[in-house]
A and B are shown apart, each in its own frame.
Chain A
Amino acid sequence: GDSVTQMEGPVTLSEEAFLTINCTYTATGYPSLFWYVQYPGEGLQLLLKATKADDKGSNKGFEATYRKETTSFHLEKGSVQVSDSAVYFCALGNTGFQKLVFGTGTRLLVSP
C-alpha cells in the first residue's frame, strides 16, 4: 500500500539556518503530495502542495519539489525563524475520497 517516510526528529537549528526535512513516498499511480504544519496546541494546517511531477509547492518561504524519479518531496527553507518551530508532516493523497497517508511527523526546534 501507499506509504510516506519522514526523517526522524527533532531537528534543532539556530535562527537563520537552512532547513531540509526529508520525505520519501511509495505509491501507485500519480499521487498528490502535501506538507502540513502543526503548531503547539493546534490542528494541522496545510503548508504547501504539489499535484504532479516536477511541480514546486511554496508558501511562507518554504518550498518542496515533487521528484518522481527519486519518489521524494523534501521540505526546504533558506532561513528559519524561531516562529517556525513546529511539527511538520508529509502526506500523500491517492484516492478518490481524498484520504491522506501521513508520515510520522518531524519536530523542528529553532533557537534564537
Chain B
Amino acid sequence: DAGVIQSPRHEVTEMGQEVTLRCKPISGHNSLFWYRQTMMRGLELLIYFNNNVPIDDSGMPEDRFSAKMPNASFSTLKIQPSEPRDSAVYFCASSPGQGPSNQPQHFGDGTRLSIL
C-alpha cells in the first residue's frame, strides 16, 4: 500500500523566497495533519483538515504560513516569505477521519527545509 507521500524530501532556499511543501495522503483517509519538528520545540501540530476543510489552524505560527487542501488527495503548506527560523522537518500525516479516536495517524517521511 502506498503511504503518505511528501515532496520534496529536502529543500534548501534563501531567506525571503516562497516555499511550497506538498502532501498526498493515503487514499480513503479523510483527515490530514501538518506538523513541524525541531530540536528546540519538538513536534508541533500546525493545522489539520477533515474532508478538505481546515478544522484547527491554531498551531500555524504566523501569517507567513498557509495551508490548503483543494481535494481529498492533495495538500500544500506554503511559507511566504521564508525566514531562517522556519528551518525544520515538516511532516504530513493522515488518518481515516472522524469517528472513534483509536485510529492511528500515518506519517510521511517528511520534508527537511533549510532556509539560508
- Residues of A whose CB lies within 8 Å of any CB of B are 31-32, 34, 36, 41-46, 49, 51, 89, 93-100, 102, 104-105
Contacts and interface: CB of A to CB of B under 8 A. Distances in A.
Contact of A98 (B101, B107, B109): B101
B34 interface: no
Interface of B: 4, 31, 33, 42-43, 45, 48, 50, 55-56, 91, 93, 95-110
B101 A93 contact: yes
B91 A43 contact: yes
Contact of B43 (A46, A89, A97): A89
Main secondary structure on A side of the interface with B: loop
A43 B110 contact: yes
Given A32-B100, A97-B50, A99-B56, 18 more contacts: A32-B102, A34-B104, A36-B107, A42-B109, A43-B4, A44-B43, A46-B106, A51-B102, A96-B98, A96-B101, A97-B48, A98-B31, A98-B97, A98-B99, A98-B101, A98-B105, A104-B43, A105-B43
